[in-house]
């Protein structure tokens, strides 16, 4: 089993790029896997924390000039860019709402795991993801209301406490596993841990695809538009943030770019589902295509940025 996981870990981006289509081809499997969404997210964060050594975690506190500006860009600047982009291409209805909400959302919880798979700075992505997640309840409702007039009725305190509890649970599980297994064993099996990340991400991709196949059959042109918007938004924000933060070094800039281009829209929709149209939830599912395909497509760029000094 460990050999199989290690093999998967060494081919992570390729397997993820192909695996994202499983839920489309097997819609019944997608419906069956849907209850595994939350456990999969928790598993991804635990796996990412296992790949971080104590020194990398301690170094987070010494990177305020990286974490704070990156978080400000993600929470304050990118929503404005998302809104301007929606206006420029004439998006309407749920597509417009989805793009603005996505661009105002915090980074994916799994972005640290993805950073390890493509060779970027997992510690930096973890710091930005955590800070943005804790501050997002203070920024997102007012920004979304100001830009598109959508009232979310989200309690900032409830959202912050929920995310803090989730991070604490993942941290506690990772600490327990690290103590039981030992640091040396975890380092020897790092490729197998990456393989476990691949398995969990495939489970997540399948579970979130429930209903996408039916939507694609019913209105293929609209689904194609939403997929195009999702790819364009992620690539654009990654390019803009990489250029803005290039002065921090190429590896840090690439890590910020990866974090900025992968957002946790699910936490917003889950907190206030009644505020959104069905098309916004469809957009959430279609976001999996850039999340799973772009690491494979952009891996040569990430590797070059990671190898640069």
Closest CA to 9 of 51, 42, 46: 51
Query: In whole angstroms, what is the distance from residue 187 CA to residue 58 CA?
Result: 18
Query: In whole angstroms, what is the distance from residue 273 CA to residue 284 CA?
Result: 12
Neighbours of 185 (CB within 10 A): 10
Neighbours of 52 (CB within 10 A): 18
List domains and CATH numbers for the chain: 26-307 (1.20.1530.20)
Give the pLDDT confidence of 237-293 residue by residue, as tens digits: 999 999 999 998 999 999 999 999 999 888 777 667 777 888 998 998 899 899 989
Question: SS in 3 state form for 26-87?
Answer: CHHHHHHHHHHHHHHHHHHHHHHHHHCCHHHHHHHHHCHHHHHHHHHHHHHHHHHHHHHHHH
Rg (CA), the chain: 18
pLDDT at 212: 83
pLDDT at 243: 96
Q: Which residues pair with 262 in a beta bridge?
A: none
pLDDT beneath 50, residues of the chain: none
The CA-atom distances, in angstroms, between 197 and each of 29, 116, 171, 273 are 20, 10, 16, 28
Query: In whole angstroms, what is the distance from residue 289 CA to residue 114 CA?
Result: 14
Give the tokens for residue 112: 């640290």
Give me the residue label for tokens 């309407």: 92
DSSP 167-231: HHHHHHHHHHHHHHH-HHHHHHTHHHHHHHHHHHHHHHHHHHTTTHHHHHHH-HHHHHHHHHHHH
Query: In whole angstroms, what is the distance from residue 241 CA to residue 254 CA?
Result: 8
Query: In whole angstroms, what is the distance from residue 259 CA to residue 178 CA?
Result: 26
pLDDT at 151: 78
Q: Are 9 and 192 in contact (CB under 8 A)?
A: yes
Give me the residue label for tokens 């921090």: 248
pTM: 0.82
Q: Are 2 and 185 in contact (CB under 8 A)?
A: no
Query: In whole angstroms, what is the distance from residue 240 CA to residue 257 CA?
Result: 8
């Amino acid at each position: 089993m460990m050999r199989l996981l290690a093999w998967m870990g060494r081919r992570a981006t390729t397997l993820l790029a192909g695996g994202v289509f499983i839920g489309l081809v097997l819609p019944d499997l997608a419906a069956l896997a849907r209850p595994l969404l939350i456990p999969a997210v928790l598993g991804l964060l635990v796996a990412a924390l296992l790949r971080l050594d104590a020194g990398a975690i301690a170094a987070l506190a010494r990177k305020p000039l990286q974490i704070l500006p990156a978080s400000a860009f993600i929470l304050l600047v990118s929503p404005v860019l998302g809104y301007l982009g929606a206006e420029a291409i004439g998006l309407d209805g749920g597509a417009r709402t989805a793009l603005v909400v996505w661009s105002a959302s915090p980074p994916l919880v799994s972005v640290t795991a993805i950073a390890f798979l493509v060779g970027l700075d997992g510690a930096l992505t973890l710091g930005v993801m955590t800070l943005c997640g804790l501050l997002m309840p203070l920024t997102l409702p007012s920004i979304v209301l100001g830009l598109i007039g959508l009232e979310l009725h989200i309690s900032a305190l409830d959202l912050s406490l929920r995310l803090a509890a989730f991070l604490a649970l993942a941290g506690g599980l990772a600490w327990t596993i690290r103590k039981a297994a030992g640091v040396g064993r975890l380092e020897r099996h790092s490729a197998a841990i990456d393989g476990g990340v691949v398995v969990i991400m495939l489970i997540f991709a399948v579970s979130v695809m429930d209903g996408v196949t039916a939507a694609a059959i019913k209105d293929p042109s609209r689904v194609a538009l939403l997929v195009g918007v999702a790819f364009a938004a992620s690539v654009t924000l990654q390019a803009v943030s990489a250029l803005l933060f290039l002065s921090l070094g190429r590896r840090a800039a690439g890590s910020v770019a990866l974090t900025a281009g992968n957002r946790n829209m699910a936490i917003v929709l889950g907190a206030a589902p009644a505020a959104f149209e069905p098309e916004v939830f469809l957009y959430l599912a279609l976001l999996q295509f850039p999340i799973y395909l772009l690491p494979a497509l952009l891996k040569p760029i990430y590797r070059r940025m990671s190898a640069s000094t």
